Amino acid sequence: MKKLISILLTFVLLLSVIIVPAYADNNVQKIYGRIVSIDAGSSKYIIKDETGNLIEASATEGLELSFSIGYALFTIETLTDEEGEYQCITCYEIIPEVGEEVGYYCYASTYWNNYSLHIYTNEMIEAYTASYTKINGTTLTRDNASELLKNRQGAVSFKVNEDNRVEEMTFITEPKMSIKDQKYNTEKQTFDGLEYPITENTNILYMIKNENKFTGFDSEYTYSFDVASYDKNKNARLIIITDMYKYGMEFYTAYNDDYCYTKNENGNTNRWDSYDSSLFDDISANSMIEFTYNENDGIKSAKVVENTDFQGSRL
């Protein structure tokens, strides 16, 4: 019996010196900053956050860190070993477009020997190119201007110096995420599945003929949009609406001169803007149609529906 007790005491003493690293949620912090010092001998790094605080930490095995990372969102865990607590960088994420403005590139016009770039942020701004301006990493010249700027529109990140000269502009061709055909959840004030919350600082653009037609989310509309950029807090920074529409259901009567004519259940005639006559090529008069519509584009789609229970206009 004494031998058994002795063995148990020895086992307990061994456990007392084996300390397992702690991974509790309160031991994990997100630090936005950049590496300012690297001690190769001890594998210690110093990160300076955006408020100027310095955080010393080691790095988890296999994680490669260098000054070239620049600003990033570092995940730092407080772990424990036989020597006590220590800070460990377990991963990092580079936040795109940090230190740059974002907006929607509309068009360019000639300005002396350079170009004037018209970019919509929360308003239309005009900035000028110079001999050092780079577009998508390529220095802008007269020879490549047409290729780099002509017939292109879309989300961009850009830097403008104190002389209002564009140092660089990059088209954001890959959205961070997209929402397709969803209605705005007014109760939650968001969209289902949206990973980057919309805040008062989110710039939301629905560009039609170089004008922003967005006036606020409407629960009657169905939306599709791209999150073009987000900030270090993972909030949406720039959203580009690619489509928005309402549904309608009425009797189609005729199409003429960019207008579609319908009748509702009360026999009243309605006239809708519609700029694509081919939508009605295979639709006969007095057919009930379901269509999508918005105030900027008019009728966007139309199809005949088999429905004896007339629902009337839902616009």
Q: Dihedral through CA 25, CA 28, CA 31, CA 35, nearest 10?
A: -160
pLDDT at position 40 is: 77
Q: What is the pLDDT of residues 31-77, one digit of tens each?
A: 999 999 998 777 899 999 989 999 999 999 889 899 988 889 999 99
Share of the chain above pLDDT 70, in %: 89
**Position 26 confidence tier, pLDDT thresholds 50, 70, 90:** low
Look at the domain 2-93 and name its fold.
OB fold (Dihydrolipoamide Acetyltransferase, E2P) (2.40.50)
Please tell me the distance from the alpha carbon of residue 42 to that of residue 247, in angstroms, as a whole number: 64
Domain ranges of the chain: 2-93, 101-171, 175-315
pLDDT at position 31 is: 92
The whole-model pTM stands at 0.78
Between 295 and 95, the higher pLDDT residue = 95
Question: Which of the listed CATH numbers 2.40.50.140, 2.70.98.60, 3.90.1660.10, 3.30.70.1520 matches domain 101-171?
Answer: 2.40.50.140
pLDDT at position 8 is: 47
Same fold: 2-93 with 101-171: yes
**Position 249 confidence tier, pLDDT thresholds 50, 70, 90:** very high
